[in-house]
Amino acid sequence: MTVYNLATNPDCQDKLRRELEKELGAENIDYENAQKLQYLDMCINETLRMYPPAMRFERVCVKTTKVKDITIPVGMSVSVPVYAMQHDPEVWEKPDVFNPERFAPTEKAKYDPMDYMPFGHGPRNCIGMRLALLEAKMALADFVRNFRISVGSKTDIPPKMEDEEILKPTCLWLKLEEIK
């Protein structure tokens, strides 16, 4: 979905390509230099906000807890509507617009950590989160360095999504032009 967002926002794609050229030069991306790619991280985070891997997740309350004026008794199942929370217009201005700048360090600090949780939160968050993010960074960096991505006549804007628990597009048609 990040590739789709970059295809539909060529200015962001160009900015990312400039960051890759500046930070990596001719080097291959690895664990160390991946940490320097702030704009790449911002693009991935914004995509995960717009298209979280899971629409919602559930937890069972292990001890009676009070959240604001609501008491949640032990044993109660609690559903966390991740997609809805990450598209709340009271939190995210123009939530359906791809804006990686929301995740610039100064902007990111303005949000409550519970407003953004594509991998869950706390001790039960996704165990594979760090590996998944590193793999995404490495793949996207190589992809954007080698191809100019654009929309074509078959590209659905916005993309049509499957009616499933896991958020995924039914089909993505994009054009690739090799960069030499």
Domains defined along the chain, listed by start:
2-178 (1.10.630.10)
Q: Is the pLDDT of residue 165 over 80?
A: no
For CA atoms 97, 100, 106, 110, give the dihedral sign. Answer: positive
Q: Write down the pLDDT at residue 50.
A: 96
Q: Residue 177: which of 131, 153, 145 has the closest Cα? A: 145
Q: Is 111 exposed, middle or buried (0-12, 13-18, 19+ CB in 10 A)?
A: middle
Kindly report the pTM of this predicted structure. Answer: 0.92
